[in-house]
DNA sequence: AATATTTTAGT
DNA sequence: CTAAAATAT
């Protein structure tokens, strides 16, 4: 029997073997497969620093997985069109498959490439799997995209058929001659200084195996308290799956089904978590219908908002030196660990946007660069949500009070103490507002404001009134 | 996915 | 008088 021509499986943000439609289609009938990852020139800058750290490690794990499956992984740098055309020439491949992505740049690249390959007689196909349902699937009765989450969830739940995850292949057939691969070590994806990301290793293990272990851990020990504890940054109460999802180390369908069928999980906890998972789909739905979501206000009323340029304040925010402990703890967690608890993300975002009146785009860019789970849909959609310019947004006048939020969600101050060690000895009663603590309490804790820990950058009450006044000017 | 302030109810 | 509820932002 003559050897079949190989299929190229182009890997993007789907760094997994399991539940991978493009890979399975490529390998069908023992066809030889060339798993190809391209470091794309055109998308330079799209990858943040923290995610580059993750990608470097995840690609190493993926390379091992493909070695075990028998094909290895081919790494190339450049334009996808050129790389793939060269590879077709070199290997005689007649098939190129990939899993879809939904960023405007990515979709443009993929659409043009698919057309060109098909014109050349190549079987080029794309597959679903990054999100639960295609972003174009849902529309309101009046024919447009959903603008509010609850109706989106209802439409989503009305037809909850999500295909069961496909198992990983046991083995793959390698092409007769393996194409040359660049060396991952030579890419030096993570170029941060030695001090940054040192703490990432303490809490993160990139790769598909770790993603699945984390899902097990969530289902076994965390999910049963999800609804009541998910807002508590001082407790291990969230799934921590977002960076794995961001690079596709686990599919949302896998999470959907494993949580959906988990034993001994109350319907409240199950539903609450699955709703959060579907928020991710909602963000992709929004991005699909508003491709400029990252740069333009979803609600154009905000185009006239009087954002303040204040580099000094922005710098203090990024470094966790605002003088508001819950804000500073969050920003320092972000820097040290490449993540931040969801509740605290809302608090720090509210502080930047409303207390400092700095444009949400600056915050979005900072998160994109420092979060290991930075996602092209969720990140801008949620920043706009906090700003009030986004879909189903928090009204602008919903201004978080960082002291009340701290007292409510970090009642013992443990979260603050973990990331703001200079407040280690502050009692819970005063840890979220050291600027209001009696002198003797500060002395006993060894804290001199303005020396050991910053004085507040702004007075929250005044800042709140200033933001409300600015909002009045763009109202109607 | 909020908070500050005012109003009303409860003792 | 305090606490809960309603209301404005």
pLDDT category at A395 given cuts 50, 70, 90 is confident
Query: Model confidence over A121-134: pLDDT tens digits?
Result: 999 999 999 999 99
Helix (H, G, I), strand (E, B) or coil at A336: helix
Catalytic residue among A134, A182, A296, A342: A342
| Neighbour-count burial of A171, counting CB atoms closer than 10 A to its CB (0-12 exposed, 13-18 middle, 19+ buried) | exposed
Instruction: Note the pLDDT of residue A44.
Output: 55
What's the mean pLDDT when you consider all of chain A?
Answer: 95
Q: For this structure, is A342 an active site residue?
A: yes
pLDDT digits (tens, 9 = 90+) for A154-177: 999 988 789 999 999 999 999 998
pLDDT at A190: 86
Inform me whether the pLDDT recorded for A253 exceeds 60: yes
Beta bridge partners of A98: A10, A126
Question: Is A342 near strand B, with its CB below 7 A from some atom of it?
Answer: yes
- The answer, yes or no, to whether residue A337 has pLDDT greater than 60, is yes
> Distance between CA atoms of A225 and A269, rounded to whole angstroms?
7
Its pTM stands at: 0.97
Q: Which nucleotide is nearest to A276 (CA to C1')?
A: B1
**What pLDDT, in 10s, does the model give residues A291-320?**
999 999 999 999 999 999 999 999 999 999
Report the percent of chain A where pLDDT is more than 70: 97
Kindly report the backbone phi and psi dihedral angles of residue A216, in degrees, each rounded to the nearest multiple of 5, phi listed first: -60, -45
Note the pLDDT of residue A154.
93
Does residue A98 have an active-site annotation? no
Confidence check: pLDDT of A2 > 50: no
Cα–Cα distance between A257 and A163 in angstroms, integer?
A: 9
Is A279 assigned a catalytic role? Answer: yes
Q: How far is CA A191 from the centre of its chain?
A: 20
Question: Quick check: A1 pLDDT over 50?
Answer: no
Which tokens hold the place of A448?
């001199």
Q: Is the separation of the CB atoms in A36 and A63 below 8 Å?
A: no
- For residue A100, the model assigns a pLDDT of 98
Give me the CA A379–C1' C3 separation in Å, rounded: 40
Query: What pLDDT shows up at residue A45?
Result: 61
- Confidence class for position A19, pLDDT limits 50, 70, 90: very high
- Give catalytic status of residue A383 as yes or no: yes
In order of start, what are the domains of chain A with their CATH numbers?
Answer: 7-129 (3.40.50.620), 131-163+206-289 (1.25.40.80), 300-472 (1.10.579.10)
Report the candidate in A40, A49, A38 with the shortest Cα–Cα distance to residue A318. Answer: A49
């Amino acid at each position: 029997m003559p050897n079949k021509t190989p299929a190229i499986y182009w890997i993007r943000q789907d760094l997994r073997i399991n539940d991978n439609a493009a890979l399975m289609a490529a390998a069908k009938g023992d066809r030889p497969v060339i798993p190809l990852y391209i470091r794309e020139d055109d998308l330079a800058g799209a990858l943040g620093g923290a995610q580059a750290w993750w990608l470097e490690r995840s690609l190493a794990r993926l390379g091992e997985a493909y070695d075990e499956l028998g094909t290895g992984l081919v790494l190339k740098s450049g334009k996808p069109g050129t790389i793939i055309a060269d590879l077709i020439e070199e290997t005689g491949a007649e098939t190129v498959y990939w899993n879809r992505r939904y960023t405007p740049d990515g979709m443009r690249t993929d659409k043009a490439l698919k057309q060109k390959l098909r014109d050349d007689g190549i079987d080029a196909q794309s597959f679903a799997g990054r999100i639960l349902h295609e972003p174009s699937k849902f529309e309101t009765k009046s024919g447009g995209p959903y603008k509010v989450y609850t109706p989106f969830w209802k439409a989503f739940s009305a037809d909850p058929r999500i295909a069961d995850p496909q198992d990983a292949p046991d083995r793959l057939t390698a092409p007769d001659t393996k194409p040359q691969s660049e060396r991952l070590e030579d890419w030096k994806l993570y170029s941060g200084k030695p001090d940054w990301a040192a703490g990432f290793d303490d809490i993160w293990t990139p790769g598909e195996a770790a993603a699945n272990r984390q899902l097990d851990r969530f289902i076994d020990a965390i999910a049963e308290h999800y609804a009541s504890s998910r807002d508590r940054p001082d407790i291990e109460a969230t799934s921590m799956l977002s960076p794995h999802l961001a690079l596709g180390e686990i599919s949302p369908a896998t999470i959907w089904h494993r949580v959906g069928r988990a034993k001994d999980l109350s319907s409240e906890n199950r539903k609450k978590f699955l709703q959060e998972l579907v928020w991710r789909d909602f963000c992709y739905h929004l991005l699909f219908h508003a491709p400029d979501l990252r740069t333009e206000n979803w609600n154009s009323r905000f185009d006239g908002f009087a954002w303040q340029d204040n580099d000094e304040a922005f710098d203090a925010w990024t470094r966790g030196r605002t003088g508001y402990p819950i804000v500073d703890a969050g920003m320092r967690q972000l820097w040290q660990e490449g993540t931040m608890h969801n509740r605290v993300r809302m608090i720090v975002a509210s502080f930047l946007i409303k207390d400092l009146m700095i444009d949400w785009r600056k915050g979005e860019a900072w998160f994109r660069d420092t979060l290991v789970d930075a996602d092209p849909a969720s990140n801008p959609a949620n920043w706009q949500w906090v700003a009030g310019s986004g879909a189903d947004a928090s009204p602008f006048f919903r201004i978080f009070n960082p002291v009340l939020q701290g007292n409510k969600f970090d009642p013992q101050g443990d979260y603050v103490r973990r990331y703001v060690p200079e407040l280690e000895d502050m009692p819970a009663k005063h840890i979220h507002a050291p600027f209001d603590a009696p002198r003797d309490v500060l002395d006993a804790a060894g804290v001199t404001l303005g020396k050991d820990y910053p004085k507040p950058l702004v007075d929250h009450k005044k800042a709140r009134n200033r933001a409300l006044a600015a909002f009045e000017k763009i109202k109607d």
